[in-house]
Amino acid sequence: MAAKVIKPLTVLAMENEKREKLIEAYLAAYNSKDVKGMIEHLDERVVFKNFSSGALTHFF
């Protein structure tokens, strides 16, 4: 499935079912530690940084 960037205001205007599916997809990626899967649902301007023991482990 191709990544589709959703703008923040668009999420507010989404139908409940579509919004729930978007949130579920994000949470499934999060729970699977799939960072790329998480950020594919976010706006392109979002920067993801993960630090573990003081070291940067992921940056997207």
Q: What pLDDT sits at residue 12?
A: 62
Q: What pLDDT sits at residue 3?
A: 62
25-57 as b/e: b if 16+ CB within 10 A: ebeebeeeeebeebbbbbeeeeeeeeeeeeeee
User: What are the tens digits of pLDDT across the range 1-58?
Assistant: 556 665 555 666 668 888 888 889 999 999 999 988 988 888 888 888 889 999 998 8
